[in-house]
Amino acid sequence: MAQMNDQTVIMKLPIRPKLKYKLTFEGELNISPYVAKQKANYYLVMHVGNLVMAADPNLEFHESGARWRVPAILTNPEIGHVGKIGEVIVDADTGSIIENETTSVEEMQANAEHIAKEKSL
């Protein structure tokens, strides 16, 4: 964008700075990503359905502590992964499901139905 007056032209150029982060973490987590995925799978089978499984978790840090964010994936025996229907949040210290931050069972079931219809399963 240029602004002109009698003698000068001022242009603002778009600047997209590149940021580089380096994080060093030392410590121990009580719940490994493998165990977090197992706990999420158990929760999904018991509450959502047997055609839903947990994907690889991502570790997040919050003021209240570390937690695993585990994607919930709708599957089909013939084609495999169909689509993401929600997330299960697992406390990295206790291994408990943080239900108030996990996608609700009803929402995951509705998302699964929507994706299944969309894909004609």
pLDDT score recorded for residue 1: 39
Q: Look over the chain and give the mean of its residue pLDDT values, rounded to a whole number.
A: 87
| Alpha-helical runs (H) found in 18-72 | 33-47
- Topology of 27-118 in CATH? Nuclear Transport Factor 2; Chain: A, (3.10.450)
pTM for the whole structure: 0.76
State which H helix or E strand residue 113 sits in. Answer: helix 105-118
Joined tokens for residue 89:
């949040």
Domain boundaries, the chain: 27-118
2 — pLDDT class (breaks 50, 70, 90):
very low
Give the tens place of pLDDT for each residue, 43-59.
Answer: 999 999 999 999 999 99
Q: How far apart are CA 44 and CA 54, in angstroms?
A: 8
Secondary structure letter of residue 101 according to DSSP: T
pLDDT score recorded for residue 9: 57
Residue 71 neighbours by CB under 8 Å, 6+ apart:
54, 55, 56, 57, 84, 86, 87
Beta strand 65-76 pairing with 52-54:
antiparallel
- Examine the pLDDT at 5 and tell me if it is beyond 50: no
